[in-house]
Amino acid sequence: MIHTMGKALLLLPAAALMLFAGCEAEPLTAELPQEGGTPVVAEPSFVYPGEETEISHRWTGTDMTFELRQGKGRTDAVSAEFVTDDAVLKEMTEKYAGLKGMSLFTLLPAEKYELPETVTLPAGQEKTTVTVRIKDVQPGTFVLPLVLMSGEDEIGVQYVEVVSIPEPEIDMKWLDRTPSVTEPRFVAIIEAAENDIRNAGNYILYPDGVGSPETARPLFDMVVLFSANLNFNEYRGRPELYFNDNVRKVLDNSGVFIRPLQEKGIKVLLSIMPNHQAIGFSNMDISGDRDMINDFAQEVYDALQEYGLDGVMFDDEYADYPTSPESEQPGRPMVQMGSFHFFLKALRDLMPVVDGQAWKDRHNLITMYNIGPNSNVRTGDHGWGLFSNNFEVITSDLWNGSTTMWSEANLTADARALKEWVADEANAPVLEEISGIKAGELFDFIWNANYARGDAHNLATGIGTGYTYIAGLTDDLAKEKYGMAVFEMSLEVGETGDIQHQQQYWGLSDYQSDTPGRNETIEATLNNQRQREYELVMCFNLQYVPDEWDGESNANLYLNDFPRFMRGLGHDGSPEVHFVGDNYDTFTPAYMR
């Protein structure tokens, strides 16, 4: 029996692969094909009710009831047993993990589940229930392969994922805290292709040192999964949400990756950015009923609900916007005033802010990574300032218009077209609509993408300019919503073979030696944020740090970084950060490839 079983198992990955790739099998209840007018006799099947076309299911903490169903055209009795051979089940588990693209699944120990010794379906009976009891599961990520055999014949295979999350050893009252300059909300944006986001939940902050464990809490208030894409569907003529394989892997396994963070009170957001397809947040069509905008807002909202996420972060890079009418691709307008405004308003209407809503109950966060030349605030001397609602600036000769010179003569075709559209009196009613949308009030948070310095050169609140580039973002709101200090946390292997921060984002630049880097020290950046009283710190790409490196014990660089940040922001206590829990290396960081 075992030998025959082994042969049958070799066929499972191909079928499962089709399933995970999104190919839907025919429902088991479909009408049977005919051969010469005689129905084909179907074999008995082993299924999970309601998920007949799937073979992978998730345990939710209660007994699971499967069904053994009689095949059509058959009335004979069926007697079956489960395969319990440990070697066979381990082989199946390894193949399952391979199909899922992750090595973290292990076989659920035999003492953690109960199966009926035999399953009997009497002659003439259509179906019978099969109860699977899972119990006393320790924290971990397991798989229970269920293989039902009738003699030498395999009736069916089902997999049960068992994800057990340990109870957080922290006082959940931390969610009621009020952020401050010295103890800001820390945010980690993590590249899904290289890092396991669960590690972000294992950084524990002791604001007053380990001698005061009662105040211990997760370091990060938010973790952003980077990144889904805004693609263009040629057939529908609409933007659509797209997930690459790495992001899909995390979302499809939300119980493995996302829930452990949320159980600690950490908000998990989805990053969305354009994808070199001439469509982005800044050129969705604002004409007519704006169905392009409204449909995409609904799609984003639906995705957040489906995967149980707490919000979204928009990143308007890599759109490859059309630069002239001649270069416009079918269905993709040029950059439009109000595109991001109307989209932001549509999404906020779907997930409104509730007065007095506690942080722990927030699942409606809308945020922006402040980068890209179009829909964000003015960035250096390359930005458009489309969120300013200050149309006089756009129509003036001083408008930058995506050029390096503040001159009408240097306006590009796309910038000139936008300027002319804003100046056209026929568009005054639309401009009035746009002017009523105060982006700074609709966003929950805005993070400044300035790796090199924190000197407000993105002019978030019009400091030193007399006008504001993000409408509705006052100085008071900026203290709560705007994060000026941004740090690239990616690591690299240094010249001496040790792991270090990527120096281009960490050390000072040296133009004489052509060494890229920061324009100011990290302390200067933190002091700048401290003076402006901003309550957010965003760090990009917090990577996996191995416990050992090059045969020796390896120190985690981040454990010193964050107390250093807090002291730079004026914290006068003894803050400490410790890594508590498993150090996950599910994905391979870039510096270890």
453 touches 520 (CB < 8 A): yes
Is residue 293 within a helix (H) or strand (E), and if so which, with residue range?
Answer: helix 291-306
Helix (H, G, I), strand (E, B) or coil at 274: strand
536 touches 481 (CB < 8 A): yes
The structure tokens listed for 101 are 């693209």
Spatial neighbors of 573 by CB under 8 A, at least 6 apart, are 207, 208, 209
In whole angstroms, what is the distance from residue 246 CA to residue 462 CA? 39
In whole angstroms, what is the distance from residue 560 CA to residue 565 CA? 9
400 touches 378 (CB < 8 A): yes
In whole angstroms, what is the distance from residue 91 CA to residue 75 CA? 34
DSSP secondary structure string, 343-409?
HHHHHHHHSPPPTT--GGG---EEEEEE-SSSSSS--TTS---TTS--HHHHHSTT--TTSSS-SGG
In whole angstroms, what is the distance from residue 52 CA to residue 413 CA? 56
Pairing, β 153-164 against β 311-314: unpaired
Helix (H, G, I), strand (E, B) or coil at 487: strand
81 is catalytic: no
In whole angstroms, what is the distance from residue 96 CA to residue 101 CA? 9
- Sign of the CA dihedral 242, 244, 250, 252? positive
CA-closest candidate to residue 334, choices 421, 456, 392: 421
Q: Angle at the Cα of 72 (from 70 to 77), degrees rounded to 5?
A: 35
Q: Spot the catalytic one: 43, 91, 317, 328.
A: 317
Q: Give the residue numbers marked as catalytic.
A: 317
